Amino acid sequence: MVVKVYGPAYASPKRVIVCLIEKGIEFETVPIDIIKGEHNLPEFLQLQPFGAVPVIQDGDYTLFEKYKSQGTELLGKTIEERGMVEQWLEAEAHNFHPHIYNLTIQILFSSKMGFTADEKLIQESEEKLGKVLDIYEDRLSKSKYLAGDFFSLADLSHLPFTQYLVGPMGKEYMVKNRKNVSAWWDDISSRPSWKKVLQLPTLESRAIIRYYAEKYKSQGTELLGKTIEERGLVEQWLEAEAHNFHPHIYNLTIQILFSSKMGFTADEKLIQESEEKLGKVLDIYEDRLSKSKYLAGDFFSLADLSHLPFTQYLVGPMGKEYMVKNRKNVSAWWDDISSRPSWKKVLQLPTLG
């Protein structure tokens, strides 16, 4: 069966795709434009109700349609009920989500993403979200849940960002000051399924590539190492990528390539600092790669693979190829891993290239 990869044209889905190619796993890509909010459209939420990407659909598994006859009926039982679910999913995507998303990015993630929170945008977004919640207050005076007297995808789709609102954002009053919205939130947020979600560790692209490398260990490229010692080195350099390499190259990527698209001015000081810090990390790589062909040893592994997407940004659209080329061993390593057929296939993909 074909593995489907849902995601934007960014780094995390590319990590998954190159891993699938290395393992010889047949796949197809489905583009999801996060900037346009496509991860919050009803059709995507039916596959991944929390709007997270990348999403991997392995075989014919579909979250709701396959299990429609068991568990909670989330789509409605009649044509009329399904119509109401779709209507309120649309309301979440186009009326609720844009404003709560702005609040989340500005309040919770601005510092992590390297820009100063826009207080005016925060105020405007809170006011607009308040008006949307007033409409919800009226609707929920007439029915227990948004689409009627049954819990559905329309309610479920509100859980993740409202959790931010009442939790780390400290804006619980926006819910609690509206009697019907408050009762609705208390109901849906106390469901066992949501409590389980809150207990789950974050699953992202590095976890996914580990999973597929392990699941298909006997086919394609051996990406995890053949011995305990090799596996230990792979894990060590995967950790180096995640905690030492990634934060600085991520800052550069966001500030240089995506700041205008995300509506903020690039921070030149942060760019300079991130380049300096990344340079120091690459100096360590230069020393390591003087002793072995690849990071974990003389074999290509997940440790090397995980560097491909963001380094491609660095040497390509960012125009900072010199950071690689000026380091002899890093340059040879990059030339090697970026010329692998699997990565060339990823770059040729129309939706993720």
Return the higher-pLDDT residue of 194 and 307: 307
β-partners of residue 3 are 27, 58
What does the mean pLDDT of the chain come to? 83
The domain made up of 1-70+202-220 has a fold known as Glutaredoxin (3.40.30)
With a cut of 60, say whether residue 305 has pLDDT above it: yes
Confidence class of residue 276 from pLDDT cuts 50, 70 and 90? very high
Average the pLDDT over each of 79-83, 127-131, 309-313 and give the range with the smallest value: 79-83
With a cut of 80, say whether residue 20 has pLDDT above it: no
224-344 architecture in CATH? Up-down Bundle (1.20)
Average the pLDDT over each of 73-87, 162-176, 274-288 and give the range with the smallest value: 73-87
Q: Where are the domains of the chain?
A: 1-70+202-220, 79-189, 224-344
With a cut of 80, say whether residue 263 has pLDDT above it: no
With a cut of 70, say whether residue 112 has pLDDT above it: no
Confidence class of residue 19 from pLDDT cuts 50, 70 and 90? low
**Residue 168 DSSP class:** T
* Matching residue, tokens 């998954």: 16
Longest CA span, the chain: 70
DSSP characters over 320-332: -THHHHTSHHHHH
Confidence class of residue 311 from pLDDT cuts 50, 70 and 90? very high
pLDDT at 174 (0 to 100): 98
With a cut of 50, say whether residue 64 has pLDDT above it: no
Asked whether 48 and 63 are in contact (CB, 8 A), the reply is: yes
pLDDT at 58 (0 to 100): 67
pLDDT at 200 (0 to 100): 46
Over residues 98-124, mean pLDDT: 86
With a cut of 50, say whether residue 242 has pLDDT above it: yes
Confidence class of residue 72 from pLDDT cuts 50, 70 and 90? low
Over residues 326-336, mean pLDDT: 98
Alpha-carbon distance of 317 to 128, in angstroms, equals 36
Return the higher-pLDDT residue of 339 and 31: 339
pTM (global) more than 0.85 = no
Map the chain to HEC letters: CCEEEEECCCHHHHHHHHHHHHCCCCEEEEECCCCCCHHHCHHHHCCCCCCCCCEEEECCCCCCCCCCCCCCCCCCCCHHHHHHHHHHHHHHHHHHHHHHHHHHHHHHHHHHHCCCCCHHHHHHHHHHHHHHHHHHHHHCCCCCCCCCCCCCHHHHCCHHHHHHHHCCCCCCHHHHCCHHHHHHHHHHHCCHHHHHHHHCCCCCHHHHHHHHHHHCCCCCCCCCCCCHHHHHHHHHHHHHHHHHHHHHHHHHHHHHHHCCCCCCCCCHHHHHHHHHHHHHHHHHHHHHCCCCCECCECCCCHHHHCCHHHHHHHHCCCCCCHHHHCCHHHHHHHHHHHCCHHHHHHHHCCCCC
The per-residue pLDDT for range 151-206, each reduced to its tens digit, is 988 898 888 889 989 999 999 999 999 999 999 999 999 988 777 656 544 445 66
pLDDT at 47 (0 to 100): 66
Burial 128-151 (b: 16+ CB within 10 A, else e): bbeebbeebbebbeeeebbbbebb
pLDDT at 75 (0 to 100): 73
Confidence class of residue 66 from pLDDT cuts 50, 70 and 90? very low
Pairing relation of β-strands 27-31 and 55-58? unpaired
Asked whether 58 and 16 are in contact (CB, 8 A), the reply is: no
Same topology, domains 1-70+202-220 and 224-344? Answer is: no
The domain made up of 79-189 has a fold known as Glutathione S-transferase Yfyf (Class Pi); Chain A, domain 2 (1.20.1050)
Confidence class of residue 295 from pLDDT cuts 50, 70 and 90? very high
With a cut of 50, say whether residue 69 has pLDDT above it: no
